[in-house]
Structure formats: C-alpha cells, structure tokens
Amino acid sequence: MKAVFVTGTDTGVGKTIVSAGIAIVLKKKGINVGVMKPIESGCGFRDGRFLPKDALFLKKASGVDDPIEDICPYPLSYPLAPKVAASLEKREIKIDVIKNAFMRISSRHELTLVEGIGGIMVPIIDDILVVDLIGMLNIAVVLVTHAHLGTLNHTLLTIDKLKTRGIDIVGIIINHIQAKEGLAEITNKEVLKHFTDISILGSIPYLRKRDLNHLSHIFEESINFSPFLKH
C-alpha cells in the first residue's frame, strides 16, 4: 500500500482531521508519510495567493517540505463542487496536473494520504467524478463517516459504489462530529458491522479545539493502524 485515498460519505464528516491524525501517528511511528489535498474549495486569498487551509493543516501535521502547489494543485475560492467552483472562477481543472503532482509526492514518501473533496460522487470536471479520480490513481480508500442518524444509508451506498468500481476499501473510520450522543450514535457502529464486511478501523470521539493539540494520543487510542503499516 503506497498510497491511501481518504474519502467521506459527505462533506463535513471530518476527512481533514482524520487525514491529519493518521499522518501524525504514522510520522510518530517512523513512517515517511506524504499528504495531498488535490482540490480544495472555499479557500481564502491573501497577498495574491490562495490559502488552502486544509492542505496547509495537512502539511503542518505531516511535517513535509513538499511545495503546497503539489500538495494542493487546485485551490478554489467558491465553497462548491470543484466543477462548479472552477467554472465560476473561469479556471480549468486538469486531471493530468493532479496525477503528476501525486506521482511527485508519492515518489518522495513511503505512504501518501490523499484527502478527497466531499463524497465520491462529487463532480470534478464534466465527465470525471471523485470516484473516477480514485480509480485513475489506482489506490485504496479509507472511508470516513459520521456517527449520527443517516450514516447507515450514506455509508452503505458509498461502499456499494466503491465495490462496483472495483476499488479496495481499507476500512471505515467513524467520526463523532456532534457532541450529543443519541441512540443512533450508540447503535450505528454495530449495525454497520452487520451489513458490511468492511473492517471498522475505529471511532474518533467528538473533538473540541483543545483536543487538536493531542491528536496523536487520541488517534492512537481510537484507530487500528495495522493496515497502514503493511506497506
């Protein structure tokens, strides 16, 4: 396993924090880990440059010195699907640019984490969805899902689509993005285990701002890292 694509069942499920947490722990374990966020929408702009905050967060978490232009080839201003945002900004997204940046980064590192944008059916350009990009990169997937009501449908649909495309799924990470714990949050993990043969690598507890300084400990306690160490 030379690279892993961290995708989600939807936007806002915590792909960035999960990618960063994995990168921090792998680095601690002595793995030379690289990171990518090929497309990031909703970026700020300062001093004539885009500020892809998620990509910069991943760069800081992993401690890499790769140029941000390789980590995030396409920062976009509008917080929309890449195809829509790029069209509004009159910019062209080229898949070859993403693939070439991926090849450069993956050649420098033992394991590269590629964070997606939104879910797997988000359009990148006219005829290319995120799931198509995963197939083009020919890498396995870690699926991040939330814990609350609705996750069963979103997760099982995403797994079904990935399997249909022949994409290997390393495992599922459940991220608790709400502080309140109801019956859905308590029961969903066991129901997912029943309806899929995909390994659940663990559950991330609800994180507050102060917890960001302790991601290494939290992730080591919460996630099974053995699949990432078998490369």
**Enzyme catalytic residues:** 37
| Separation CA 132–CA 160 (nearest Å) | 15
Instruction: Find the DSSP H helices in 89-174.
Output: 95-108, 130-137, 151-164
Buried b (16+ CB within 10 A) or exposed e, 33-53: bbbbbbbbbbbeeeeeebebb
Instruction: Find the DSSP H helices in the chain.
Output: 15-28, 53-62, 68-71, 82-88, 95-108, 130-137, 151-164, 183-195, 215-222
Instruction: Take residue 203 and report the two structure tokens written for it.
Output: 């559950």
DSSP annotation of 42: S
A 10 A CB-CB count for 31 gives: 17
76 vs 83, 111, 134, 138, 176, CA distance in Å? 10, 26, 20, 25, 27
